[in-house]
């Protein structure tokens, strides 16, 4: 099961959202703190201005009434509030800031709680307490428009960042898909060179590598196919002359050698073939049953071949590809394995599997890596008549060309098993490609 967080886009999206969320919350916290500090400074300035204005009013026009909520209180009045030692820290800082703005020796107190906030100030030169209204230090903490605007800005920022992350990972995704196709041996068109400079350089290098590898593979295939094709005619003449020999023992030996050489030439041609399989798709279970039935009838002395076909009719592959896979693996099991040979198919949550296993000695663990390399024989005894070291290499190439993956190994210590897996998504493309060729 794919997890979104495993993709580049998922991780970029998570990183972007986390960074934006952290930055917006930090910005909002700093804004709230700065607003509180600005409010405190404004309240101090306002209180200082009002106290100075009252002093000037009393000095210049003592007979005129004072503004509302501003009054003068006799120091002996019982309404004068006492010093509160348990003031909140913010209020205490406010009183200290007001006292710092006043002349030395000025007394600053805060009115009794429960009523409108009032500030009591008396300097050494004042005859009475000057009482002025004080602005509340903290505004109501209800959800205001700031939070709404923050949510809107955050949403637009996230959408823009996700689009940027998607645009950034698209070239890398195209390159990853091309690498996957190249690893499976499928044709790879040039990948568009876009994105950051480093990614463009990487894509350019990959395109050059694909071109060089394709050119080398093409040259090798042409050379191999040309040599194999040129050998077919002399082999046919050699077989015809061998059948005309009078000595039956010599004739039979030469014919067997010619047949072995012909088989090797045919393997060369199959391995060198680089085109798509244009044969008609067939149900794998039914075709396996037919191939096994004919193999039992034709291959005299072949080991017992059993079938365990449970994939169902949805599992289809091109007929020529499937026949070549089965014939190569059955011949390999016949030559080096031991009965019974089991041809099995199954349906899994990810796709379909096709496996062929025998009960021989298998392949040594250190030789499994080289088992599918072309023209490699794991020991001299396996290079008998008609064997070129291409059987497993052909199977691997055919499986990858059909969009599948393969795994070769010793199964349960009883023999060699080749397990081929075909995901659900590749099978419709295989069928469509084969049908379009017709």
CATH code, 125: 3.30.450
**Cβ pair 101, 127 in contact under 8 A:** no
Look at residues 133, 148, 174 and tell me which one is the last residue of a structural domain. Answer: 133
Look at residues 111, 133, 155 and tell me which one is the last residue of a structural domain. Answer: 133
| Token pair belonging to 13 | 């999206």
Alpha carbon distances (Å) from 273 to 137, 222, 259, 429, 437:
85, 9, 21, 20, 17
CATH code, 312: 3.30.565.10
pLDDT of residue 438: 43
Owning domain of residue 10: 4-133
Residue 212 in domain: no
Q: Find all residues with CB under 8 Å of 288, minimum gap 6, and list them.
A: 307, 309, 322, 326, 343, 345, 354
Number of neighbours of residue 229 by Cβ within 10 angstroms: 13
Query: What total of structural domains would you count in the chain?
Result: 2
pLDDT of residue 310: 92
Q: DSSP readout, 186-218?
A: ---PPPP--SSHHHHHHHHHHHHHHHHHHHHHH
pTM of the model as a whole: 0.47
Residue 139 in domain: no
Residue 174 in domain: no
- pLDDT at 346 exceeding the cut of 90: yes
Residue 208 in domain: no
Q: Which of 53-62, 135-144, 295-304, 378-387 is least confident?
A: 378-387
The dihedral of CA 185, 186, 189, 195: what is its sign? negative
* pLDDT band, very low/low/confident/very high, at 435 (cuts 50, 70, 90): very low
Distance CA(410)–CA(26), nearest Å, equals: 59
Alpha carbon distances (Å) from 409 to 112, 232, 327:
89, 35, 19
Condensed to tens digits (0 to 9), the pLDDT of residues 364-401 reads 776 666 665 655 555 544 444 444 456 677 788 888 88
Average pLDDT score over the chain: 77
Condensed to tens digits (0 to 9), the pLDDT of residues 24-35 reads 777 777 776 667
């Amino acid at each position: 099961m794919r997890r979104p967080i495993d993709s580049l886009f998922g991780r970029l999206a998570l990183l972007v959202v986390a960074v934006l969320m952290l930055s917006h919350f930090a910005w909002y916290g700093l804004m709230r703190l700065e607003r509180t500090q600005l409010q405190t400074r404004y309240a101090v300035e306002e209180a200082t201005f009002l106290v100075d204005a009252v002093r000037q009013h009393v000095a210049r026009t003592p007979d005129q009434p004072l503004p509302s909520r501003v009054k003068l209180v006799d120091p002996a009045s019982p309404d004068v509030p006492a010093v509160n030692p348990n003031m909140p820290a913010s209020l205490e800082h406010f009183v200290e800031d007001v006292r710092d703005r006043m002349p030395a020796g000025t007394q600053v107190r805060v009115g009794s709680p429960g009523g409108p906030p009032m500030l009591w100030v008396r300097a050494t030169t004042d005859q009475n307490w000057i009482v002025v209204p004080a602005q509340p230090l903290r505004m109501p903490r209800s959800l205001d428009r700031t939070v709404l605007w923050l949510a809107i800005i955050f949403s637009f920022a996230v959408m823009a960042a996700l689009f940027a992350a998607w645009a950034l990972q698209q070239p890398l995704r195209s390159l990853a898909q091309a690498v996957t196709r190249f690893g499976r041996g499928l044709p790879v068109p040039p990948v568009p060179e876009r994105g950051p400079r480093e990614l463009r350089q990487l894509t350019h290098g990959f395109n050059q590598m694909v071109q060089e590898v394709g050119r080398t593979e093409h040259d090798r295939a042409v050379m191999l196919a040309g040599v194999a094709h040129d050998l077919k005619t002399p082999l046919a003449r050699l077989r015809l002359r061998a059948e005309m020999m009078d000595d039956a023992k010599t004739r039979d030996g030469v014919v067997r050698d010619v047949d072995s050489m012909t088989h090797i030439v045919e393997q060369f041609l199959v391995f060198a073939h680089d085109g798509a399989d244009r044969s008609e798709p067939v149900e794998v279970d039914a075709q396996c049953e037919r191939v096994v039935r004919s193999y039992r009838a034709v291959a005299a002395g072949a080991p017992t071949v059993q079938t365990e076909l449970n994939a169902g009719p949805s599992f289809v592959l091109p007929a020529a590809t499937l026949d070549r896979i089965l014939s190569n693996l059955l011949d390999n099991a016949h030559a080096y394995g031991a009965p019974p040979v089991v041809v099995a198919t199954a349906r899994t949550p990810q796709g379909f599997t096709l496996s062929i296993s025998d009960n021989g000695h298998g392949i040594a663990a250190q030789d499994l890596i080289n088992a599918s390399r072309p023209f490699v024989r794991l020991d001299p005894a396996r290079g008998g008549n008609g064997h070129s070291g291409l059987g497993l290499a052909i199977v691997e190439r055919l499986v990858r060309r059909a969009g599948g993956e393969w795994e070769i190994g010793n199964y349960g210590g009883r023999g060699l098993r080749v397990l081929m897996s075909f995901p659900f998504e590749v099978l419709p493309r295989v069928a469509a490609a084969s049908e379009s060729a017709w």
